[in-house]
């Protein structure tokens, strides 16, 4: 690079270096956009996973309440388990 700036007669080589630098800069810009899109997609998928886990946790809590209720009344909790799998 230093040599290119010293020799004004090497216009073609300077143009090639500038063109290469512009191409590299454009590739960096495209990479940033790809990474940003990937980050957004990952965030959305994480939010959906959290919602799924929360829903399943609520279902498990409800099932546990049913089992506890049956056990308190002296009924066999396995009845609840078989009805939950239907």
Q: What is the DSSP string of 48-79?
A: HHHHHHHHHHHHHHHHHHHHHHHHHTT--THH
Instruction: Give me the number of domains the chain comprises.
Output: 1
Question: What pLDDT does residue 50 have?
Answer: 98
Q: How far apart are CA 47 and CA 35, in angstroms?
A: 18
Average pLDDT across each block of 10 residues of the chain; the chain has 86 residues. List them in order. 62 85 96 97 98 97 89 70 50
Q: Which pTM does this prediction carry?
A: 0.57
Residue span of the structural domain in which 70 resides? 2-84
The first and second tokens of residue 51, run together, are 């919602």
């Amino acid at each position: 690079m230093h040599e290119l700036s010293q020799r004004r007669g090497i216009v073609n080589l300077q143009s090639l270096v500038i063109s290469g630098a512009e191409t590299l800069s454009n590739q960096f810009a495209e990479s940033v956009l790809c990474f940003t899109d990937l980050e957004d997609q990952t965030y959305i998928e994480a939010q959906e996973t959290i919602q799924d886990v929360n829903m399943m946790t609520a279902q498990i809590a409800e099932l546990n309440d049913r089992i506890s209720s049956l056990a308190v009344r002296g009924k066999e909790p396995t009845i609840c388990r078989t009805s939950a799998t239907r």
